[in-house]
Structure 1
Amino acid sequence: MTIHPEDLRTAEARLQQLHQRIGGIAYGGDYNPEQWPREVWLEDAKLMQQAGVNLVTLAVFSWSRLETSNGVFDFGWLDEVMDLMHQHGIGVDLATPDAVPPAWLVEQHPEIMPERPDGSIFGFGSRQHFDVSHPVYRAKSLVLAEKMGERYASHPALRMWHVGNEYGPTSYGPWAEKAFREWLQRKYSTLDELNEAWSTAVWGQLYSDWSQVRVPAQPRTWSNPSRRLDFHRFTSDSMLEHYKAERDILRRHSPDLPIVTNFMRFYKTNDYWAWAAEEDAAALDIYPDPREEDAHIAAALNFDLMRSLRQGQPWMVMEQATGAVSQWSVNVSKLPGKMRLGSYQAIAQGADSILFFQWRQAKGGTERYHSAMVNHAGPNTRIFREVCELGQELKTLGDVTGTRSTAKVAIVFDWDCWWALELGNSPRSDLNYAQEVLRLYRPLFDANITVDFVNANSDLSEYSLVIMPASYLLTDQAAERFESYVTYGGRLVVSYLSGIVDQDNTIRLGGYPGALRKVLGAWSEEMHPLAGDGEQVKLSTLDGGTSSASYWTEHLHAETAEVLASYSSGRLAGAPAVTRNSFGQGMALYLSARVEDGLLAQLLHDELRSAGVEPELNAPTGVQVRRRTGCSADGTNKSFLMVLNHNDAPSSVDVLDGGTDRISGRTVQGAVELPANGVLIVDETAG
């Protein structure tokens, strides 16, 4: 299908063109030729061809090599590499390298280094050593982006742009303080509004002049939570502002090319809902710990989140490891087959790109033990053979690109909530928001239910079931949206610590969960976190069964809600623990306690059944099933059933409708046995 230049105004069209130009699924990774002598470059290009690589990311950390001193640029070596890639049929994802300001810039302007809350300064020698608010850092970054756009926009190897790398440094220095104050002045038109939002009457923190408003640096004891919440918001916005400035420069030079930056797993600093809206695709760096038997479930959550950030649009694995990484105390290597399985898991959950960090394993520097597509031992290794095998398989799956997944279940994931919930000075300051979300996601993953993620501003009308894990902060508008969702027939599951504060991080009065009390038909007069990790209380369920709860309980009162489980021991004996309320045409379930895993799974299963939500395919435990359908990048309508065996033993599934396994080429229908860590990609439209 031909794409005309005038059509390349949308992210979808730019991505479609990318996959057409590289021949399907993007495959490759970060390439750092500046770490190697020139004689290695040609060998690398030939090995890339052997491995099926069609896209490499260049120049991520190359600022010091591209601008060797102030205003002195050397693009010759990068020209050579770009030309070499083109000669070997390999596309380039070209990065602006401002994640690592060079030593000469730090020497001339040491004030660009970020400042910690205690006033100490980051030292040179790592990455992300900059205050994004500093005008010199910003100006120099934009000059380099302009020069790269001018030089390479028309290069035949260029396929997309990669802005920065893993945005994240937070600074509490004078430039951040100035920018924070300006950000606040835009948000709050008067100091009276700011004082009201921040509850500065508490502890006598009233501001009488804007000059008094500073970043929340290290206080004597505790710091104002509303002020700190706004600083989280400002930090994300300030980095996004800089990303957008570089993006706009590159877009002017290359209006037809995708532009992205890379996100990180469970990354708290940046609101990825806001970021994804400004990019052509969500792109994820994902490093599951091979020591964790269920690491693929946390990975799955992140994959579904990436797919959801741009309303189901295919996304990119920007970085992953072929084997071991170098960031944990013990860095074990992935077992044979696990790299392939993890790559197909990402594809099953909406990825159209499988990229690694990095192509050739570094022999020096901090990440010298981080595995690569070509490891220290060279290409005659198990890992490189697996890399080649996967690359050849992916060449046959080009028509997967562009297809999407659909879900009838959504989970709320919101950065405002995350920031507010983990500021401390709360009934449980050890609560981990990401783990709370994962806990409610896990039963759905085990049941092979496709899940979307939404935020408090999302349209909920397409979902039969919406789940709110510890949705601590809700605006009035968001609360009304969830209430309306239930009123018109939706089913809502709400966990403890939801609806507690408003947009200013101020407690909602009248009983917890204040924003959701009406729709839940129940309210708590007091929170009762349990004292120790091992402490439990017993529960009795409506059907006469028994269960338990740990970590969190509440003194709950049912108003219009039905009681599904009550405490049968402890100080709350006889009080409700789990309720369900009929509201309008829908239902709302409230988990006021952290119930044990078995009861949680049963409650969610009952909600799924009542909502009419079924899995794509019934499969044994440990076998993941997903479906991707719709118009592929080649313009044809496709349907792919993807089955992944995460078990270390064979598993059997029943492929009812059948089709062609695109990996083996054989026809499959009925009972199919998958080997340990095996993958089945069933083309349901074949033939």
Structure 2
Amino acid sequence: MTISPDARTAEERLQRMHRRLGGIAYGGDYNPEQWPCEVWLEDARLMQEAGVNLVTLAVFSWSRLETADGIYDFGWLDEVMDLMHQHGIGVDLATPDAVPPAWLIAQHPDILPELADGSAFGFGSRQHFDVSHPVYRQKALAIAGKMGEHYARHPALMMWHVGNEYGPVSYGPWADKAFRKWVQTKYSTLEELNQAWSADVWGQVYSDWSQVGAPAQPRTWSNPTRRLDYHRFTSSSMLEHFKAERDILRRHTPDVPIVTNFMRFYKNNDYWAWAAAEDAAALDIYPDPREADAHVAAALNFDLMRSLRGGQPWMVMEQATGAVSQWPVNVSKLPGKMRLGSYQAIAQGADAILFFQWRQAKGGTERYHSAMVGHSGPNTRIFREVTQLGNELKELDGLTGTRSAAKVAIVFDWDCWWALELGNSPRSDLTYAQEVLRLYRPLFDANVTVDFVDTKSDLSQYSLVLLPAAYLLTDESAQRFEDYVSDGGRLVVSYLSGIVDESNTIRLGGYPGALRKVLGAWSEEMHPLAGEGEEVKLATADGGTASASYWTEHLHTDGADVLASYDSGRLAGSPAVTRNTFGKGTAVYLSARVDNTFLESLLFAERQAAGVQPELAAPPGVQVRRRTGNGSSFLLVLNHNDAPAGIDVGRGGTDRISGRPLQGTVELPANGVLVLQESATDETSR
């Protein structure tokens, strides 16, 4: 393989890969070591039939690649790599460090992670390692180096896949030692540490660094800032290991993209930091088919992945063709839903549609997890759908590399998430992801494209920013939101925002302390509603009515206008929702969990005032997204309803799936999809 001098940035590496693949990446995890070699040729033939152009190899193959300490056997993998290349199929080659082999655990049993209660995480699953263990790191880097050297010039190599679903947390002696070192780097003195951790509370003062360790499970409650720092340490420790493998592979293959796979609503790793260290964000996504609106939470994750690298196209690294094996009841996707979900990811910026896995395992834990080729073989509904999709995607040349533009941003921040869910708070049952989803849903339903940002992001390009439960804000972040509003931005803030500083210490002087000035309002007391289904009435400034449940606050205005007041309960007469003019902009504060109808109307008014319009007017359940670039504009229309729906596509264009020219009102069948390459007139008019 000739090293291209041009492929030195993430985007250049990805563009090169997609050119070699011929467009959108399509395929999935392939585990040939689970099958006799006579099946491999049949697999390659079926992959060609299904339009597969990329498979992921060796994710769980450490024990087959290093059969004993320092004894490497790449022979079988060479055969598979060659076979894939002969059939025009590229390889996303994984480093297998997610599954340390039994012989390594037998030699070094302390590689196994230790749980918070002191018990060992035994061998027999996966992710059974403490990432801080020096021998684990040494052996993982060694096999990465061997693979990088061995396959650097193999023509099938398209991408590197480092590890798998990083995330195991350990509280054992190696993690303990690494955490102590991390803490010493973060806090230069013990006095600074004791101050940050509020160590005088419950007499937890440290007088020597040797006393500092991982927050293993105590008799009762544990210091929240110590646990917050452990979240930070765990994410950065795993990322440090990923980077070490990445750097080894990069030296061998500077023009090959390097990624790992993220997970849906995954709390342990700060994906903003992780995505910055990779060539692309890649997501494993398994919505529960039993949930009628599962596609909304999936959409949030898709937009988050697209946002993690500034709008760059991302990858679906894993999804299911039918049933998965993780829910209590594993319902298979209905006909058409797998195709619809795949196009939804593409509509929201994905340039790769991959599955776990190619051939359904006949043994092991995931034997009932669906696959592209199931237990019944290729003569099945699912394989026919897989083949239809794969061959449709071949027609979408020009789509890869295109992007979506957004004027609305929602803050999604891992520090906020970690701090909010540490417990011992007014509502320990509150979940950050659900708070974010609640503000995201009305915008999704209205077909408004949304970017996600963290608390450190530049906000200047957005007309409207939403801040859901941003519990932890640094002084710098709070100032950033003030400056954004002062310069003309519109900000919507929900309850439990700006409560604590970077050290998880309450900001005094009234909630939400960090945002009190820009909001022009403050709360003297939090009043979570205790009873299941308990709610209070609200009276709106325009004479209407609304309601609130779950959360309320005793709010006072300090210059803000009142949009809604409590009309019942202990806070009757007090403000509930306010809007403050600050500089050239405005800031809305939701001190209560208002009902959905009021929230939708409020966000509608805010985006109208901000000049934000939907991509296209559409009936309920029809999603519309636009991707532009490469001199083209694509309008993707998806019918999430189980009944036909009509939509006016205006001047229209050519549907790249069917090849038909379309304009005006078009009827989409249930679960139907359009990929409309818009006319040049429409494209240049925007």
How far apart are the structure 2 equivalents of 1:448 and 1:417?
A: 27
1:441-520 residue pairs with structure 2 within 5 A?
Answer: 441-520=440-519
1:624 alignment partner AA: Q
Alignment-derived partner of residue 606 in structure 1: 605
Residues 489 and 686 of structure 1: is their aligned pair in 2 closer, same or farther, counting only changes over 3 Å?
Answer: closer
2:437 alignment partner AA: L
2:258 alignment partner AA: I
Q: Secondary structure at the match of 1:656?
A: coil
How far apart are the structure 2 equivalents of 1:94 and 1:188?
A: 39
1:638 to 621, 632, 635: 632
Alignment-derived partner of residue 523 in structure 1: 522
How far apart are the structure 1 equivalents of 2:71 and 2:657?
A: 50
How far apart are the structure 2 equivalents of 1:662 and 1:4?
A: 34
2:669 alignment partner AA: P
How far apart are the structure 1 equivalents of 2:593 and 2:402?
A: 38
Alignment-derived partner of residue 134 in structure 1: 133
Alignment-derived partner of residue 678 in structure 1: 672
Q: Secondary structure at the match of 1:398?
A: coil
For each residue in 1:285-325, what CA deviation from the matched residue of structure 2 results, as whole angstroms up to 9, or x when unmatched? Answer: 00000000000000000000000000000000000000000
What TM-score, normalized by structure 1, do the two folds share? 0.98
How far apart are the structure 1 equivalents of 2:512 and 2:552?
A: 13
Q: Contact between 2:165 and 2:260, CA under 8 Å: does it hold in 1? A: yes
How far apart are the structure 1 equivalents of 2:236 and 2:155?
A: 34
2:626 alignment partner AA: R
Matched, 1:146 2:145: yes
1:68-217 residue pairs with structure 2 within 5 A?
Answer: 68-217=67-216
1:668 to 656, 662, 665: 662
Residues 140 and 494 of structure 1: is their aligned pair in 2 closer, same or farther, counting only changes over 3 Å?
Answer: same
Alignment-derived partner of residue 220 in structure 1: 219
- Identity within the alignment, %: 81
2:7 alignment partner AA: L
Matched, 1:423 2:422: yes
Alignment-derived partner of residue 651 in structure 1: 645
How far apart are the structure 2 equivalents of 1:614 and 1:94?
A: 42
For each residue in 1:63-83, what CA deviation from the matched residue of structure 2 results, as whole angstroms up to 9, or x when unmatched? Answer: 000011111111100000000
Q: Secondary structure at the match of 1:657?
A: coil
Q: Contact between 2:44 and 2:87, CA under 8 Å: does it hold in 1? A: yes
Q: Contact between 1:629 and 1:639, CA under 8 Å: does it hold in 2? A: yes
Q: Contact between 1:517 and 1:523, CA under 8 Å: does it hold in 2? A: yes
Unaligned runs of 5+ in 2: 682-686
How far apart are the structure 2 equivalents of 1:686 and 1:413?
A: 36
* Displacement after TM superposition at 1:201 (Å): 1.1
1:576 alignment partner AA: P
Q: Contact between 1:410 and 1:451, CA under 8 Å: does it hold in 2? A: yes
Misfit runs of 4+, over 4 Å: none
Alignment-derived partner of residue 29 in structure 2: 30
Alignment-derived partner of residue 256 in structure 2: 257
For each residue in 1:371-400, what CA deviation from the matched residue of structure 2 results, as whole angstroms up to 9, or x when unmatched? Answer: 000000000000000000000000010210
Q: Secondary structure at the match of 1:400?
A: coil
Q: Secondary structure at the match of 1:308?
A: helix
Alignment-derived partner of residue 558 in structure 1: 557
For each residue in 1:550-602, what CA deviation from the matched residue of structure 2 results, as whole angstroms up to 9, or x when unmatched? Answer: 00000000110000000010000000000000000000000000000000001
Alignment-derived partner of residue 296 in structure 1: 295
* Displacement after TM superposition at 1:685 (Å): 4.1
How far apart are the structure 1 equivalents of 2:531 and 2:399?
A: 49
Alignment-derived partner of residue 287 in structure 1: 286
The count of corresponding residues between Structure 1 and Structure 2 is 680
2:649 alignment partner AA: V
CA RMSD of aligned residues (A): 0.9
Q: Secondary structure at the match of 1:458?
A: coil
How far apart are the structure 2 equivalents of 1:578 and 1:281?
A: 40
How far apart are the structure 1 equivalents of 2:96 and 2:508?
A: 49
* Displacement after TM superposition at 1:188 (Å): 0.8
1:260-279 residue pairs with structure 2 within 5 A?
Answer: 260-279=259-278
1:56-71 residue pairs with structure 2 within 5 A?
Answer: 56-71=55-70
Q: Contact between 2:3 and 2:254, CA under 8 Å: does it hold in 1? A: no
How far apart are the structure 2 equivalents of 1:341 and 1:329?
A: 24
Alignment-derived partner of residue 616 in structure 2: 617
For each residue in 1:404-425, what CA deviation from the matched residue of structure 2 results, as whole angstroms up to 9, or x when unmatched? Answer: 0000000000000000000000
Alignment-derived partner of residue 634 in structure 1: none
Q: Contact between 2:3 and 2:255, CA under 8 Å: does it hold in 1? A: no
Q: Contact between 2:282 and 2:316, CA under 8 Å: does it hold in 1? A: yes
How far apart are the structure 2 equivalents of 1:425 and 1:568?
A: 30
Alignment-derived partner of residue 358 in structure 1: 357
Q: Secondary structure at the match of 2:599?
A: helix
How far apart are the structure 1 equivalents of 2:11 and 2:207?
A: 49
Alignment-derived partner of residue 579 in structure 1: 578
* Displacement after TM superposition at 1:656 (Å): 1.0
Q: Secondary structure at the match of 1:280?
A: coil
Alignment-derived partner of residue 319 in structure 2: 320
How far apart are the structure 2 equivalents of 1:95 and 1:159?
A: 11
* Displacement after TM superposition at 1:273 (Å): 0.1
Unaligned runs of 5+ in 1: 632-636
For each residue in 1:163-208, what CA deviation from the matched residue of structure 2 results, as whole angstroms up to 9, or x when unmatched? Answer: 0000010000000000000011111111111111111011111101
How far apart are the structure 2 equivalents of 1:398 and 1:533?
A: 52
* Displacement after TM superposition at 1:533 (Å): 2.6
Q: Secondary structure at the match of 1:427?
A: coil
Q: Contact between 1:660 and 1:686, CA under 8 Å: does it hold in 2? A: no
Alignment-derived partner of residue 382 in structure 1: 381
Q: Secondary structure at the match of 1:170?
A: coil
How far apart are the structure 1 equivalents of 2:117 and 2:318?
A: 33
Q: Contact between 2:262 and 2:284, CA under 8 Å: does it hold in 1? A: yes
How far apart are the structure 2 equivalents of 1:605 and 1:41?
A: 55
For each residue in 1:405-448, what CA deviation from the matched residue of structure 2 results, as whole angstroms up to 9, or x when unmatched? Answer: 00000000000000000000000000000000000000000000
* Displacement after TM superposition at 1:7 (Å): 1.9
Q: Contact between 2:652 and 2:679, CA under 8 Å: does it hold in 1? A: no
